Structure 1
Amino acid sequence: MKRVFLNAFALAALALAVVSCDQKTTTEHASSTITKEAEAANKVAEENNPAATIANGKFEFTEDQFDFGTINEGDVVTHIFKFKNVGDGPLLITNARASCGCTLPEWPKEPIAVGQEGKITVKFNSKGKPNKQRKRISIYANTEPELSTLHITANVIPKKLEKAGPIK
């Protein structure tokens, strides 16, 4: 009796496995077909509606790093990074951040049209920043990739400490 029950159980499990595999194959095939149909529909939509594709701006910097050379601690120096939009659409800078509070980037808030030029002004305050300095400016815009990076460097000569005189 046990043997008949086990054989029946094994037969039922095998039948279930075959049906499950068959359903899985059918589901995968249907999913694959739907994906191919969706891709084809998207391609037709893009071809018939050029506005459906997103036009991005693209930076073309004249330089992406600048060395101020040797400066004295406490000097505030400025450099202008110039760029041109060589993308397919207007270039919009959404944010610019420096790696340190001693560096302040200023950027255009209005979109830069294709073919037009713009500038990012970077001010570096060397107060309390002696020796070799390297700062990164992260520019976020509607570009691919979204993040562009600029760098400034300077060799800051430390202030000389004033000699202490007699205490009165």
Structure 2
Amino acid sequence: MKKIITVLFITLVSFAVNAQDKVAKIEFKTETIDYGTIEKGSNGVRVFEFTNTGNAPLIISQVTSSCGCTIPKKPEGPILPGKTGVIEVKYDTNRVNPIRKTVTVISNADTPTVALKIKGDVVDTKSTNVLEKTKSVVQK
């Protein structure tokens, strides 16, 4: 009986050790996307590409943004080892202002939380600011 218990114990411990060796790893091509200067109303969709460099399936459980003006979309299924996936981010370009937002990715990877950044500047080329109007009036 002792031998059976000992064998079962050793088997369980070896399974636990092997299970810990299997881990997903998420590696992004870039962790910051720079929109640059873009026009109001232009396409605000950008993509963060990543690869599962681990040896277990990567499951992204949640992707959130720091503001309602940024809508992230996560992959639905697991990303197998060695495969790539994308997280799509859509910024509302009808808001004229600088872009400085964070997208948080939560997964089962060895680094479970990753902060991605988007930056840029949305400008309205159709409107003229007050300073430019004042300069044109003064010059006349």
* TM-score, normalised with respect to structure 1: 0.62
Cα pair 1:78 1:121 within 8 Å, conserved: yes
Residue ranges of structure 2 left out of the alignment (5+ in a row): 1-8, 129-140
Cα distance in 2 between the residues matched to 1:80 and 1:133:
16
* Moved beyond 3 Å, runs of 4+: 42-46
Rate the CA distance shift 1:109–1:44 in 2: closer, same or farther, 3 A. Answer: same
Q: How high is the sequence identity, in percent, across the aligned residues?
A: 32
Q: Larger C-alpha radius of gyration, 1 or 2?
A: 1
Residue ranges of structure 1 left out of the alignment (5+ in a row): 1-41, 162-168
RMSD over aligned Cα, in angstroms?
Answer: 2.3
* TM-score, normalised with respect to structure 2: 0.73
How many residues align? The count is 118
Equivalent residues in 2 for 1:4-153, closer than 5 Å: 45-46=12-13, 48-49=14-15, 50-53=17-20, 55-127=22-94, 129-153=95-119
Find the counterpart in structure 2 of residue 9 from structure 1.
Answer: none
In terms of fraction of residues, the more strand-rich structure is 2
More moved, 68-77 vs 51-60: 51-60
In terms of fraction of residues, the more helix-rich structure is 1
Higher relative contact order (CA 8 A, sep 6+): 2
